[in-house]
Structure 1
Amino acid sequence: MNGKQGVAVLVAGDVGDDPAGTAATAVATHTAAADPLQDRAYADGKFATIAVATNLSGDVAQLDTFVPDCLARVAAIEQGTAFPQALNVDGNAQITNGSLTVTDLTKGYRFKVDGSVLDMEATSKDLIVSVWPGTGFNGTQHSYEQYAADALAAQHAGKREWADGLYGTVRHTLDGATNPPVFSARRLSAGKPSPAHGRTARPTSLLLPRSQRSGSSTIRRHLDVGAWP
């Protein structure tokens, strides 16, 4: 058999096979090798670059530090103990079950939803309400209202119009530049006839101090415009 005569003893080489234990030895050697397929060094150089954010360099083993650090940073943002340097949102954004505070840590706004009403609040400095005509907060800024931080006081600038609806017919006008308190006397009247004359009583100006509400022909002319026959 296989060129042997008499009582033949076959070995692995007689049939083209490996000696016993060869496969086990090969597997053990492969497992113990640092880079048995010569692909780990290649992968380290390629995939670590894909995983890099801004400061990761070297091989993928550094991900063991980088990934936990990322998770810790995200957790800090979610818990409100860390602040992103900037935030841009493309699309709708929603804050649920909490208030929105915009602050530089010395002054700020707060849009508050807890409680039974909605609050828009400012802290530390006066609150100015203004509008820009441009698309990027540019052009001539129009400032309409100022709410004092240190007193219960407010100022309103420009022309004020009272209409029957937004962008509708104007019924009353108050212009800070020209200063005429032009209100309809009939509309401001309480509508109660005078006992002596049976006429609707003249209204008192709501825009002047009590000491100036009578005795002035200028005031009377403003109150009488278009209201008395």
Structure 2
Amino acid sequence: MTATGYVSTTGDSRKVNKTGDTMTGELTLPDSSPDQALNAASKGYVDTVAATKAAVTHASTHAAAGSDPVTLAQSQVTGLTAALAAKVAGPGASTDNAVARFDGTTGLVIQNSTVVIGDDGSVTITGNLTDAGDLLVRNSHTAPTKAYRFRSSGGNLDTEAGGSDWYWSTFPNADFSGTQNTYMRWEAGAAIMHIMAEAQFKAGPFGARVHSIDGAGNKLGFHGAAPIAKQTVSGSRGGNAALASLLTALANLGLITDGSTA
């Protein structure tokens, strides 16, 4: 490289010895840390060395035998101990989105739980849900238009719905997939209950049927008789043919036992 604005007395044009001279050649930095005489050093290298040296030097002065040891008053140590003791400690690992629970009665130790609140607000509970008051399920927190209420605060146990008809139905699968079987609809604005399936009246939940009302099939059955369709009474009223037909129809429904004779 050559310099302008400077005349070397030795004839060496590579030297730049005063301010204002211009270097016209390439300035090459070493690939690694400068380790040869007159090697140029980057600013980053110089800053790193300076910071490291300052940190080491500063830390050594605070050592036990250093020139500037750190001294804490007893009040400072006591205050630090009290502040650390008042901090809540966790288990070190937890389930993502799980609700933290207190462990013990100190109020300073928390533990993981199986109650998870998703980012969408959904709550997943593994175990039983115990409620000491009424349980309210609504379609909106801010502007509900329909809701269920399981109420224990009254004189009895009440299962209630508000704002919409209440449908009772089942699905074959736990994820509510498959065909929905709807059995009843309770109207919200009137004391009317609609039954869309066969209702069997029994002495026990799994006993033999006593009476049956099949709304879907339009059939009736009483006193253990299978439900049948509407019966037709025929025959002449002038003789016993109509009476015999009526007795047969009533017996088929299970309403009577025909013990008459001809």
| Greater relative contact order structure (CA < 8 Å, 6+ sep) | 1
TM-score range relative to shorter protein: 0.3 to 0.5
| TM-score scaled by length of structure 1 | 0.48
| TM-score scaled by length of structure 2 | 0.42
More helix, by proportion = 1
Which of the pair has more CA radius of gyration? Answer: 2
